[in-house]
Amino acid sequence: MSFCTSAIAGPSRLPACAGRVIAAQSVTRASAPASRRYASSRSSTDQEKRERSYNTWLSEVGWQYKTPERGAKAKWLGGDVPFESNPSFKPPPPLSNDLQNIIYKELRAGKKTLGEISQAYSISKNRILAIGKLKAVEEEFRRQVRCPSARFGVPSIPSTFLPDEKQI
């Protein structure tokens, strides 16, 4: 039996077994009873109902949650709490990305201690550390992935230039 090694999970048998799995699926589909085939058409109408219901909610109520206003207080579905069915769960409000960037810059500068930053913004030290770690990961990701198409193995998206334009 042939194995395919992967840097993530080690040896894998998937390539060797893929042909057998596909063949078994095609046999199962061909012999499926008519009731099962009609069930798939019913599920598509259920899917359409769910999509209509979601779109209705989004246009009537959800629009205010879709795009938050800059500097506005966090809006939760349960009013003052994020979950109506669990009113005892009251997490700290989410921090804006702008505030997270400011805190991360102050951490990187090293002019203030963790305690001073925590006291200045009234945020716990653990939360300040978490912001620092997440922003460092975000920065590293941006450094590694130069353009969106690089993730798909394409070096860059081809572009066209006007004849007078200087090509960079």
| pLDDT tens-digit series, residues 75-134 | 777 677 778 888 888 888 788 888 999 999 999 998 999 999 999 999 999 999 999 999
Checking if the pLDDT of 157 tops 60, the result is no
Give the whole-angstrom CA distance, residue 78 versus residue 133: 30
Of 162 and 85, more confident: 85
Residue 91: the pLDDT is 82
Q: What angle do CA 165, 167, 168 make, to 5 degrees?
A: 130
**Of 61, 138, 142, 134, which Cα lies nearest the Cα of 95?**
134
| Contact (Cβ atoms closer than 8 angstroms) between residue 13 and residue 1 | yes
Residue 45: the pLDDT is 85
Give the whole-angstrom CA distance, residue 99 versus residue 76: 20
Per residue in 35-75, pLDDT (tens digit) is: 555 555 556 788 888 889 988 988 888 887 777 777 677 77
Residue 87: the pLDDT is 82
Give the whole-angstrom CA distance, residue 41 versus residue 34: 11
Q: Using DSSP, state whether 146 is helix, strand or coil.
A: coil
Categorize the per-residue pLDDT at 33 as very low, low, confident or very high, splitting at 50, 70 and 90. Answer: low
Give the whole-angstrom CA distance, residue 50 versus residue 52: 5
| Contact (Cβ atoms closer than 8 angstroms) between residue 95 and residue 123 | yes
| Residues paired with 84 in a beta bridge | none
Checking if the pLDDT of 28 tops 80, the result is no
Residue 103: the pLDDT is 94
Of 13 and 102, more confident: 102
Residue 63: the pLDDT is 82
Give the whole-angstrom CA distance, residue 118 versus residue 99: 12
What lies within 8 Å, CB to CB, of 92 at 6+ separation is 123, 127
Amino acid at 91: P
